[in-house]
Structure 1
Amino acid sequence: MANRFIVEADGGSRGNPGPAGYGAVVLDAVTGEALAEAAEYIGTATNNVAEYKGLIAGLEAARAIDPEAEIQVRMDSKLVVEQMSGRWKIKHPDMKPLAARAASVFPAGRVAYAWIPREKNKHADRLANEAMDAGKAGRPWEPSAAAAAPSVPVAEPLPEPKAAPVGWAAPADLGTPTTFVLLRHGETALTPEKRFSGSGGTDPELSPAGRRQAEAVAAALAARGTVQAVVSSPMRRCRETAEIVAARLGLDVRVEDGLREADFGTWEGLTFAEVRERFPEDLDAWLASSKAAPTGGGESFAAVARRVALSRDKLLARHAGRTVLLVTHVTPVKTLVRLALGAPPESLFRMELAAASLSAVAYYADGNASLRLLNDTGHLR
């Protein structure tokens, strides 16, 4: 599945024409994380020229990250949005070459345009004004230390869908949802000690207690008789759990790399207290921001969310209308739940998820999702 980016762009001119500049930001469409910023003072120009140059800069910044990405452009310029969407003709001679250049950055089928009100385009507007201020002061624009909050909600799809009813008001003709039953693997030797155990560590096997937990899950799921496919993280503890369950259900196990646990860098194998003692500043940063990664080249929660969302979309396409058991880890399960609820990244720290617990999310044809179960451990009693 291709990466999905939001490009928000703006341009301004103090005089129209007058001293002008543009700003653009590339956002991850799943997490809302700002991936790149661009801004420049362009001398004397009109608002429209500045807006088009902001669009071009944003598209080129997105292409530099991933030339195969799918893009939604969001601008408060009705003119640019309508012209680039093909609904309005481009008559002004200054606009034609700029529009042609913008159209050449990505194939047309991978870019969608949407108008947003100015108050929803604050990030790009700020960058454009920073660029104009820098030009007035005779210096080049430089990124500011503080990043403004992105204006796209977490997990908003591309392109922007029509409003769909949810909950009790949902229509009855959406068909059978695709249901992911989310199983955290059974215990390893590290689990009772509450040590960081991600994809960058020793890849431990199930402990005897963990194997008993997997057998209990297998019995419970066999009694329900609803699971139609089993997909596992590549980590050993998940594959062992999945194989025990799949054998009881008479199914094969398919491995999906995107379901692996986060890489916790040099924190692997340490307890929270040990990390607090050795890396206090890094731990505080990690707890405060989903963009912060564990010490030593670990993986941020924002990065995990991107790959988990890609795996989710791939599995939804492959298993439409079916019930699929995903055997994975704490972070991927919490991430799938968070994205289904549209909850903020800090919600990951507010969910309890026991070893061998079951959760479930149903995905509907209109793009809505429903959390049906969280941290069920009744089968382990």
Structure 2
Amino acid sequence: MPRRFIVEADGGSRGNPGPAGYGAVVIDPATGETLAEAAEYIGTATNNVAEYKGLVAGLRAAHALDPQALIQVRMDSKLVVEQMSGRWKIKHPDMRPLAAEAAAVHPAGQVSYEWIPREKNKHADRLANEAMDAGKIGKQWQPGDSRAALATARSGAVRAADAAAEAADSATAAAAPSTPAVGWGTADLGAPATFVLLRHGETALTPEKRFSGSGGTDPELSPAGLRQAEAAAAALAARGTVQAVVSSPLRRCRQTAGTVAARLGLDVRIEDGLRETDFGAWEGLTFAEVRERHPEDLTAWLHSAKAAPTGGGESFAAVARRVAVARDKLIARYAGRTVLVVTHVTPIKTLARLALGAPPESLFKMELSAASLSAVAYYADGNASLRLLNDTSHLR
């Protein structure tokens, strides 16, 4: 008879997306004995990503114990259980590779899935929280870690940082670091991944204030927009800090990015997740025209991030999900470096909103001019610092 294991797994994100971690435990169903534990802080991610990574870790731990075992997975994530059981389609493109990875760990015919309420998944939940606590003090979870021990370690780190701060206060300010600390007492996290966010230059639709997203005509830069791109390129070349250039796939961004990259001697990498919102039937219309033709849909859109424009457009909630995924990919790729991200109004406002932990309605309270510069720094502990918003000084 093959051995039988229970795998309980969980994942969490403090911010969704935010600092995230997972936990998994392998249990002997006959004795209740814990056979293996796994947990890891994974940086900035969503709850769903963390839950899937917890599943993968739990399956790997069980497979390592016995590749022929029968495994019963128990999780409080209805999404993961139903998707891995084949009852729900995996619609989100970012979940598909995680589900495929989980399915490849252990023979599918030897794995079954069961949903359990959260209160019955406390072991894995505790491990996930311990992993996130460990990440908060700049370390990875180790077997034997407990939340109390991690809290003590964090307290020690704070005391050490306080002592260092007192010493720094008594020293001359001439050697002050150029990168401000944002950890409020945590250990040195190293240089952040810094996104310099450049909105593309004007198109013919920009001065007319028409909806121009990813579902319209994909306009090119106007003569004014080309001049704005040149001005941004000159300003960024003078600063000399940009080490890479990434762009939305839409033409107006590729043109803007290409102008800057040529001045800096860099290539342009395309990131599809940075494209503008698809405004559906509103593409090319002014706000007044939309209000006249689709008043109820516009009202709903203005009051809920989950409401989509008429005709199959994207909601701000959907845009935020894909922008967060693109952000996490870029943070991992450009850790400790400064990257120019050339994109659109909604993605830039979304990155600023997420960095601040602001609600979705804050998108309507930010001004973002054509060819303006903004900046966000992302630190290793998952914290973000909004450093600049809507700077147009280079255009004057």
Give TM-score, length-normalised by structure 2.
0.61
Determine if contact 2:75/2:121 at 8 Å carries over to the other structure. no
Deviations 1:93-145 (A, max 9, x none): xxxxxxxxxxxxxxxxxxx7559xxxxxxxxxxxxxxxxxxxxxxxxxxxxxx
CA shift, 1:173, in A, is 1.5
**In the aligned structure 2, how far is the partner of 1:261 from the partner of 1:196?**
10
**In the aligned structure 1, how far is the partner of 2:133 from the partner of 2:316?**
24
Aligned residue among 205, 221, 239 for 2:220: 205
Correspondence list, 1:68-147, <5 A: 68=98, 77=119, 80-84=120-124
**In the aligned structure 1, how far is the partner of 2:347 from the partner of 2:320?**
8
Aligned residue among 357, 368, 376 for 2:383: 368
After superposition, the Cα gap between the structure-2 partners of 1:83 and 1:361, relative to the gap in structure 1 and judged at 3 Å, is: closer
Determine if contact 2:247/2:343 at 8 Å carries over to the other structure. yes
What residue in structure 1 maps to residue 316 of structure 2? Answer: 301
Give yes or no for the alignment of 1:333 onto 2:354: no
Give yes or no for the alignment of 1:242 onto 2:247: no
Determine if contact 2:243/2:338 at 8 Å carries over to the other structure. yes
Aligned residue among 74, 81, 92 for 1:60: 81
Correspondence list, 1:161-180, <5 A: 163=136, 167=182, 169-171=184-186, 173-180=188-195
Determine if contact 1:178/1:323 at 8 Å carries over to the other structure. yes
**In the aligned structure 2, how far is the partner of 1:74 from the partner of 1:256?**
38
What residue in structure 1 maps to residue 244 of structure 2? Answer: 229
**AA aligned opposite 2:377:** A
What residue in structure 1 maps to residue 287 of structure 2? Answer: 272
**In the aligned structure 1, how far is the partner of 2:359 from the partner of 2:376?**
17
What residue in structure 1 maps to residue 210 of structure 2? Answer: 195
After superposition, the Cα gap between the structure-2 partners of 1:224 and 1:54, relative to the gap in structure 1 and judged at 3 Å, is: closer
**Partner-residue secondary structure (3-state), 2:385:** strand
**Partner-residue secondary structure (3-state), 2:195:** strand
What residue in structure 2 maps to residue 320 of structure 1? Answer: 335
**In the aligned structure 2, how far is the partner of 1:258 from the partner of 1:189?**
24
After superposition, the Cα gap between the structure-2 partners of 1:218 and 1:268, relative to the gap in structure 1 and judged at 3 Å, is: same
Determine if contact 2:195/2:339 at 8 Å carries over to the other structure. yes
Unpaired runs of 5+ in structure 1? 7-28, 33-51, 88-111, 116-157
After superposition, the Cα gap between the structure-2 partners of 1:295 and 1:53, relative to the gap in structure 1 and judged at 3 Å, is: same
**In the aligned structure 2, how far is the partner of 1:239 from the partner of 1:372?**
24
RMSD of aligned alpha carbons? 3.1
After superposition, the Cα gap between the structure-2 partners of 1:54 and 1:234, relative to the gap in structure 1 and judged at 3 Å, is: closer
Determine if contact 1:31/1:306 at 8 Å carries over to the other structure. no
CA shift, 1:62, in A, is 5.6
After superposition, the Cα gap between the structure-2 partners of 1:159 and 1:291, relative to the gap in structure 1 and judged at 3 Å, is: farther
**AA aligned opposite 1:269:** G
After superposition, the Cα gap between the structure-2 partners of 1:334 and 1:57, relative to the gap in structure 1 and judged at 3 Å, is: closer
What's the % identity of the aligned pairs? 71
What residue in structure 1 maps to residue 57 of structure 2? Answer: none
Q: How many residues align?
A: 268
After superposition, the Cα gap between the structure-2 partners of 1:242 and 1:193, relative to the gap in structure 1 and judged at 3 Å, is: same
Higher helix fraction (1 or 2): 2
CA shift, 1:61, in A, is 4.0
**In the aligned structure 2, how far is the partner of 1:75 from the partner of 1:161?**
26
CA shift, 1:31, in A, is 9.7
Determine if contact 1:31/1:305 at 8 Å carries over to the other structure. no
Unpaired runs of 5+ in structure 2? 1-10, 17-44, 49-72, 103-114, 138-157, 159-180
CA shift, 1:303, in A, is 0.7
CA shift, 1:160, in A, is 6.9
**AA aligned opposite 1:180:** F
**Partner-residue secondary structure (3-state), 2:194:** strand
**In the aligned structure 2, how far is the partner of 1:379 from the partner of 1:305?**
29
What residue in structure 2 maps to residue 220 of structure 1? Answer: 235
Deviations 1:200-249 (A, max 9, x none): 00000000000000000000000000000000000000000001111111
Determine if contact 1:31/1:302 at 8 Å carries over to the other structure. no
**Partner-residue secondary structure (3-state), 1:169:** coil
Determine if contact 2:226/2:256 at 8 Å carries over to the other structure. yes
